Amino acid sequence: MNLDPDVFRLLSRAAAAISAPLHAAIVRQGPIAIPLPSHVLVADRLFVEVINQQISTRAALAIWARIEIVAAERGIAPRELFVPGEEATLRGCGVSGNKVRALMAIRDAEAAGERCEALALMPHADRTAALCRIRGVGPWTADMIGIFHFQDPDIWPGGDVAAVGTLRQLSGREDHVAVAAAFSPYRSILARYMWMSRDADKEAVT
């Protein structure tokens, strides 16, 4: 679905009060599309985000593609590889040892009751605390789950290098938390604009 025009106007006004480049970046994108969550189960989204941690998008996609190929060859879902005994298979796909253990910990947590329904009802801070009890899941991953899976509109991912760096560049200010606060209660939408602006600039260079 597309962003509500009233929300877009609010974001545009907030950006205009901060800097001309930030305002121009948001206006250039227009009311962006907000895709529906790509996974039914929170664990399935967590698996993807663990692979995404601390590596480039291209590398993460390549690793996940190799996992999907192995799973398809066996006629199983990727999550069925995240069990003891498949460590060598996952390492062969490019998954680090720490991430292998994290993937398995997510499956264990799911089996122990960390279900999507319970997490969906929690405020983001409480959800983050619950998710961070799972090995290999930290605040950045919890923010990504909140933004993309639960579609919480007001999360500023302060640990995301791309979002923070783009906001600093466009706003001309170092205190990204204070700048993002001006966009509450739509800081998640601001983050989406920052990612899209960064991607657009990279495409322009290439």
CATH topology of domain 5-34+155-205: Endonuclease Iii, domain 2 (1.10.1670)
Give Cβ neighbours of residue 53 (< 8 Å, ≥ 6 apart). Answer: 99, 136, 140, 141
Domain boundaries, the chain: 5-34+155-205, 42-138
Amino acid occupying residue 179:
V
Evaluate whether 102 touches 137 at the Cβ level (below 8 Å): yes
Tens-level pLDDT at each residue, the chain (206 residues): 789 999 999 999 999 999 999 999 999 999 999 999 988 888 999 999 999 886 788 899 999 999 999 999 999 999 999 999 999 999 999 999 999 999 999 998 888 775 556 788 899 999 999 999 999 999 999 999 999 999 999 999 999 999 999 999 999 999 999 999 999 999 999 999 999 999 887 666 55
pLDDT of amino acid 117: 62
Q: What is the pLDDT of residue 102?
A: 94
139 within 8 A of 128, measured Cβ to Cβ = yes
Q: Rounded to whole angstroms, what are the CA distances from 139 to 74, 106, 156?
A: 34, 15, 11
User: Which CATH number, 3.40.50.2300, 1.10.340.30, 3.30.420.40, 3.40.640.10, labels domain 42-138?
Assistant: 1.10.340.30
